[in-house]
């Protein structure tokens, strides 16, 4: 895992707002909801709100996007994203599906 990914995931897990080069974490506290957001090049690729992790490539299925998302997924023990023949897949144990932007995964 790249150092920027490690730092961003740590900030995300700790609910801290920080910036690391092309990656930013924003933690928002609102009256009825707290959420944490992960941005890559200004695009929101991850969001945790109400124990639901939403992941999105924002149309940029790059190695960096995949690496940042996999950093988040691994911290929650929620599987990984991998690519095969230029297509992305989400795998969690024996469960494998085609990756879709806006995927929502329950965090326990």
Whether the Cβ atoms of residue 19 and residue 67 lie closer than 8 Å to each other: no
- For residue 21, give the DSSP letter: T
How many CB atoms within 10 Å of residue 72? 24
What's the domain count of the chain? 1
8 Cβ contact partners less than 8 Å away, ≥ 6 residues apart: 18, 20, 23, 24, 25, 38, 68, 71
Residue-number span of the structural domain to which 41 is assigned: 3-106
The whole-angstrom separation of Cα 89 and Cα 80 is: 8
Tell me, what's the pLDDT at 87? 96
First to last CA, the chain: 24
In the predicted model, what is the mean pLDDT of residues 66-89? 97
Tell me, what's the pLDDT at 13? 96
Dihedrals phi, psi of 63, to nearest 5 degrees? -60, -35
In the predicted model, what is the mean pLDDT of residues 91-102? 97
Confidence of residue 1 (pLDDT cuts 50, 70, 90): confident
- The pTM of this model reads 0.94
In the predicted model, what is the mean pLDDT of residues 25-35? 94
């Amino acid at each position: 895992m790249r150092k920027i990914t490690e730092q961003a995931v740590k900030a995300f897990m700790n609910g801290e707002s920080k910036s690391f080069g092309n990656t930013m974490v924003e933690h928002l506290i609102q009256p009825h909801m707290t959420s944490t957001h992960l941005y890559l090049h200004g695009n929101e690729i991850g969001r945790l709100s109400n124990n639901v992790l939403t992941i999105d490539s924002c149309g940029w299925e790059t190695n960096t996007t995949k690496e940042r998302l996999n950093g988040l997924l691994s911290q929650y023990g929620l599987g990984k994203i991998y690519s095969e023949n230029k297509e992305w897949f989400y795998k969690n144990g024996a469960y494998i599906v085609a990756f879709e932007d806006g995927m929502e995964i329950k965090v326990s």
